[in-house]
Homo-oligomer: A and B are copies of this chain.
Amino acid sequence: MSDRNRTQATERPEPARRRRGKELIAAIHQAALEETAEQGLGRIGMEGIARRAGTAKTSLYRRWSSPEEIVLDALYHVLPVEEPSPMADDLRGDLIAALTLMRDKFMQPFYGAVVTAILAEAQRNPELRERLYGEVFEPRGGRFTRTVLYHYAERGKVDPARLTPVVLDIGEALMIKYGVDEAKLPDDAYIAAIVDQAILPALGHDAGCDTGGRGRPAG
Q: Which residues of B contact A159 (CB under 8 A)?
A: 208
Q: Which residues of B contact A167 (CB under 8 A)?
A: 197-198
| A42 interfacial by beta-carbon distance below 8 Å | yes
Instruction: Bin chain A's interface residue count.
Output: 35 or more
Cβ-defined partner of A41 (8 Å) among B40, B122, B165, B172 = B40
Q: Give complex CA distance A10, B12 in Å.
A: 59
Q: Give complex CA distance A198, B165 in Å.
A: 11
Question: 1/0 per residue A28-52: CB within 8 Å of B?
Answer: 0000000001111111000000000
**Separation in Å of the A181 CB from the closest CB of chain B?**
8
**Separation in Å of the A98 CB from the closest CB of chain B?**
16
Q: Which residues of B contact A165 (CB under 8 A)?
A: 190, 193
> Contact at B198–A208, with CB atoms within 8 Å?
no
| A78 interfacial by beta-carbon distance below 8 Å | no
| A126 interfacial by beta-carbon distance below 8 Å | yes
- A interface list, Cβ under 8 A from B: 37-43, 112-113, 116-117, 119-124, 126, 129, 159, 162, 164-167, 169-170, 172-174, 176-178, 180-181, 183, 190, 193-194, 197-198, 201-202, 204, 206, 208-211, 215
